[in-house]
Amino acid sequence: MAHAHAHHPHDHDGHDHDHAHESGQGHGHGHSHGIGHHHHHHAPADMGRAFAIGVILNTAFVLAEAGAGIWAGSMALLADAGHNLSDVLSLVLAWGASVLARRAPAGRRTYGLRKATILASLANAVLLLVAVGAIVSEAIHRLREPAFIETGLVMAVAALGVVINTATALLFFRGSHSDLNVRGAFLHMAADAAVSLAVVIGAAVIAVTGLLWVDPALGLLIAAVIIIGTWGLLRDSMDLALDAAPRSVDVEAVRAWLAALPGVESVHDLHIWAMSTTETALTAHLIRPGNPEPDAFLHQACEGLHGRFNIGHATLQVEADTAHACRLAPAEVV
């Protein structure tokens, strides 16, 4: 049986490194190795600045909002300050993960710390749900026991919160489409802006009508909106933490594409998983009798996987001897 392992051209900082070597081994097994195709897609370069600005702005606002809440006797502002504090912590978490993801592999961590971004996005989703729980609890309490608030001060502070949280969310908007970790930060800030807006509207309605139940009712409505928005983040983060293929990758389409490559008879032991919130890896065994021009075939296959499916880390084992079945061939074997 002949095996070809492809780990094709590395793409580090604009430099391409092509390595190839062949080695013979006993028992009739020939191994040809090509080093290749690791395309790295990190979050946009300015995300570090976005995280720094977001943390500074929101920390200052949390302190101001908590002080105003105590002064105005507003549980709504205090609850929102607590929610914003959880988001500051989530921003720090996401920022730290994005920094860790850029660390080079070392020792036993042969993938580096890229998966920290996945763990951070999962933690962000959980933190959001915990914050929602606090909002719901406070809203229910205030529905039972309405409390008078200084509506003018509450409206002014909450309006400032809308501006700060919206501005922070916009810093992460561009990166939120391609990086689940950044998406978590974006959703946190967008949810904060929505909560602050609800506080403004509630305070205005109370000032006009005197209906104290309006504020906690709006709080419950916003909590429901946050839960709906967070569910997708929680589901995707959990999937990636369990090494599921990213939602953007159609596993069966990849399998069909590999099976249609020149000379390939079948595909087995296919695994696709996320190395980070922006990088995808793949391993597969291809049955290819004779394996003509192995190096050219492997380069072509890895280029195609990157171009068509955005899979930048592909390792392919080509098996040319069809007389001996691979022990990993059965679909149920991992």
The mean pLDDT value of the chain amounts to 77
- Of the three residues 215, 241, 267, the one that is the final residue of a domain is 241
Per-residue model confidence (pLDDT) at position 27: 33
CATH of the domain at 303: 3.30.70.1350
d(CA 152, CA 67): 15
Does one domain contain both 236 and 251? no
DSSP labels, 159-218: HHHHHHHHHHHHHHHTGGGT-HHHHHHHHHHHHHHHHHHHHHHHHHHHHHH--TTHHHHH
Does one domain contain both 51 and 182? yes
Per-residue model confidence (pLDDT) at position 271: 92
Per-residue model confidence (pLDDT) at position 18: 37
Asked if the structure places residue 328 within a domain, the reply is no
Number of separate domains in the chain: 2
Residues contacting 223, CB < 8 A, separation 6+: 132, 135, 136, 139
Predicted TM-score (pTM) of this structure: 0.64
- pLDDT tens sequence for the chain (334 residues): 444 444 433 333 333 333 333 333 333 333 333 333 444 444 444 577 878 888 888 889 889 888 887 887 676 677 777 777 777 877 887 788 778 777 888 888 887 887 888 888 888 888 878 878 887 888 888 888 877 777 888 889 889 989 988 988 888 887 767 677 778 788 878 888 888 888 888 888 888 988 888 877 877 887 787 787 778 878 888 988 888 998 889 999 999 999 999 999 999 999 999 888 778 889 999 999 988 888 889 899 999 999 999 898 888 989 887 777 788 788 776 6
Q: Which of 11, 18, 14, 12 is nearest to 299 (CA)?
A: 18
Does one domain contain both 83 and 227? yes
Does one domain contain both 34 and 151? no
Asked if the structure places residue 333 within a domain, the reply is no
- Helical H runs in the chain? 47-72, 75-100, 116-144, 151-173, 180-209, 214-241, 251-259, 294-309
d(CA 262, CA 280): 24
CATH of the domain at 84: 1.20.1510.10
CB-CB neighbours of 194 under 10 Å: 19
- Of the three residues 241, 257, 288, the one that is the final residue of a domain is 241
Per-residue model confidence (pLDDT) at position 251: 94
Domain that holds residue 261: 2-40+245-319
8 Å CB contact between 285 and 10: no
Q: Give the β-pairing of 2-7 and 29-35.
A: parallel
pLDDT in tens, 173-195: 877 676 777 787 888 788 888 88
d(CA 80, CA 62): 9
Q: Which of 41, 39, 53, 47 is nearest to 176 (CA)?
A: 47
d(CA 74, CA 134): 15
d(CA 218, CA 236): 28
Asked if the structure places residue 73 within a domain, the reply is yes
Buried residues in 231-262 as b, exposed as e (16+ CB within 10 A): eebbebbebbeeeebbeebeeeebbebbeeee
What would the two tokens of residue 156 be?
Answer: 């002014």
Does one domain contain both 275 and 172? no
Does one domain contain both 233 and 262? no
Per-residue model confidence (pLDDT) at position 118: 84
- Of the three residues 241, 258, 291, the one that is the final residue of a domain is 241
Angle (nearest 5°) at CA 44 between 124 and 276: 50
